Amino acid sequence: MAAEWGHVEPDEDPRETVVRELSEELNLAADFIQSNPLFITVTRTLGHGDHTDVSLWYLVRSDSSRSIEFDRGEFHGVRWFDFDEIPFKRSDPHMRRFVAKLRALLSH
């Protein structure tokens, strides 16, 4: 599992954002598993200006045996995680709920 965060540009469809951000920052193609987001969250963000983030969580397919060529200006490092390895304390506050929903979907 890899997580990626990007911002939708004005007049950009959120799916186009997924394609652009995965390509620019992780050199991955966006092979969508489903066309709509699996999960939508709202998070109050502090830091670079107090604001609210609305996040659309899409599912995309990729080959986890492939190393990720990432933008070193955006990330210090990246790696794939198995579900039981995800560092929830260092992840998005909604990651645990997202993974639970994803695991339930995969078990069907």
Half-sphere exposure of 7 (CA within 13 A, CB side): 4
Scanning the structure block, which residue is given the tokens 């069907």? 108
Q: Is residue 88 part of a domain?
A: yes
Total number of domains in the chain: 1
Q: Is residue 1 part of a domain?
A: no
Model confidence pLDDT, tens digit, residues 40-84: 999 888 777 788 888 999 999 999 898 888 889 888 999 999 999
pTM (2 d.p.): 0.81
Q: Is residue 48 part of a domain?
A: yes
Q: Is residue 68 part of a domain?
A: yes
Q: Is residue 4 part of a domain?
A: no
Q: Is residue 65 part of a domain?
A: yes
Domain extent, residue 99, equals: 14-106
Residues 6 or more apart whose Cβ sits within 8 Å of residue 94: 39, 41, 43, 55
Give dist(CA 14, CA 89) in Å, integer.
27
Q: Is residue 75 part of a domain?
A: yes
Half-sphere exposure of 82 (CA within 13 A, CB side): 2
